[in-house]
Amino acid sequence: MSVLVFAELSGGKLKKPAFEAASYASDFAQSQNLPLYALVAGHNVEEGEIKRIGEYGVEKVLYFNHPKLEAFVEPVFAGVLKAAAEQAGARYAVMPQSYNGRAVAPRFSVLWNAALISGVTELARVENGKAVVRRSAYSGKGVETVLSHGERTVFTVKANAYGLKPNPKSVSIESLDFSPAEKDFDALVSKRIEKASDKISLTEADVVVSAGRGMKGPENWGIIEELAETLGAATACSKPVADVHWRPHHEHVGQTGIQIAPNVYIAIGISGAIQHLAGVSASKTIIVINKDAEAPFFKAADYGIVGDAFEVVPELLKAVKAAKN
Ligand SMILES: Cc1cc2nc3c(=O)[nH]c(=O)nc-3n(C[C@H](O)[C@H](O)[C@H](O)COP(=O)(O)OP(=O)(O)OC[C@H]3O[C@@H](n4cnc5c(N)ncnc54)[C@H](O)[C@@H]3O)c2cc1C
């Protein structure tokens, strides 16, 4: 019996979601006294890159190399995950709740005949042989406890919820013995155009600077971008701002947008509607800047500044720059 973690690659590299899932899986495996395996699947991934997963408690890697795995193909990855779980003799599998993790986890769970518990935020425990774990519910307004009745269980870990726990190990790599069916490659990504690739990814960012309709128009986003750049933060926005194309849709956070949980979320000129909060309330620290002292966002804020964004943000920028110098 063991634990398998899916060390997802992004552009051929291991990134924060893989390291966070490994941190979670490593702590869970240790708590259950079980060996831990990681699956790395891609094409011609360098050995040094694969071994970086060892920084987060993994000692054994199952590596699957295939020329068509440059891009993510859900049916193939579901099969690869099942084969890895079988080769590792796993009972539990841990995956990042990333775009790809979210897409493949249900397929993999069905193939592997496992219970799926998605969006976990705390370390699972095992009671009377059954995995039990808490996760947020009702768009972050509640917490629920989920009990797995499956022989096997798959957990997806919400981004930034568990954090990175460095625990360096030396890694051994074993090849995964698996041949995907040709039909699983029926739908393949033929071309991908990366947009905003030089920017910090919103789901992985530690700090997010977000703005809403209070900014009045797209021409005023210069101070938001400058604040984000100075803080090393990603930028986000409310839904109406994306709807009227003041900002790109991939920045829209909330119930119908991306759900994030950065260490710091700075909300500027956003009212704090429940649908917006649904996507950001898991942030560790929320800072709100709004000229209306009655704005609902202040109820969810750790720190708040009542003031005009066009006066407060430039002052904040000056202060951040002075502090950095
Ligand atoms: C089914 C459904 C799903 C939805 N999903 C989402 C979602 O995923 N994400 C989302 O964001 N919304 C979502 N919404 C919309 C949501 O209900 C709100 O309408 C939206 O979040 C409001 O955006 P806003 O705060 O930018 O704008 P507004 O509500 O117009 O608020 C602007 C705020 O800026 C402040 N302000 C104005 N001028 C200044 C200034 N100079 N300085 C400082 N502050 C200023 C105002 O006091 C106000 O609080 C959804 C709605 C529905 C019905």
Ligand 1, CB within 6 Å, residue ranges: 212-214, 238-241, 254-257, 269-271, 273, 275-276, 279, 289-292, 295, 308-310
Q: Are residues 131 and 177 in the same domain?
A: yes
Q: Are residues 40 and 177 in the same domain?
A: yes
H-only helix segments in the chain? 16-32, 47-51, 74-88, 99-112, 222-231, 239-243, 274-280, 297-300, 309-324
Give the domain extent around 231. 207-324
What is the model's pTM? 0.78
Average pLDDT, the chain: 92
Identify which of 200, 203, 215 has the alpha carbon closest to the alpha carbon of residue 283: 203
Q: Which atom of ligand 1 is nearest to the CA of 271?
A: 49
**Angle, CA 80 vertex, CA 59 and CA 148 arms, to 5°:** 75
pLDDT at 197 over 80: no
Q: Are residues 141 and 259 in the same domain?
A: no
Distance CA 15, CA 137 (A): 27
> Residue 227 sits in a domain of what CATH number?
3.40.50.1220
Ligand 1 centroid distance, CA of 239 (Å): 7
| Confidence at residue 198, expressed as pLDDT on a 0 to 100 scale | 59
Residue 198 in any domain: the answer is: no
Best mutation site among 274, 276, 280 for ligand 1 pocket (most ligand atoms within 8 Å of CB): 276
Q: Are residues 231 and 163 in the same domain?
A: no
Q: Using the 3D structure, point to which of 185, 216, 247 is the last residue of a domain.
A: 185
pLDDT in tens, 294-313: 999 999 999 999 999 999 99
Residue 195 in any domain: the answer is: no
pLDDT in tens, 278-298: 999 989 999 999 999 999 999
Distances (CA, A) of 15 to 19, 125, 148: 7, 26, 29
pLDDT at 138 over 80: no
pLDDT top residue among 191 and 308? 308
Distance CA 310, CA 100 (A): 39
Tracing tokens 């701002």 back to the chain, one arrives at: 241
Q: Using the 3D structure, point to which of 185, 220, 250 is the last residue of a domain.
A: 185
pLDDT top residue among 223 and 182? 223
In total, how many domains does the chain have? 2
Ligand 1 centroid distance, CA of 161 (Å): 25
Residue nearest to atom 8 of ligand 1 (CA): 254
High-pLDDT (> 70) share of the chain, %? 97
Task: Give the type of residue at 170.
Answer: S
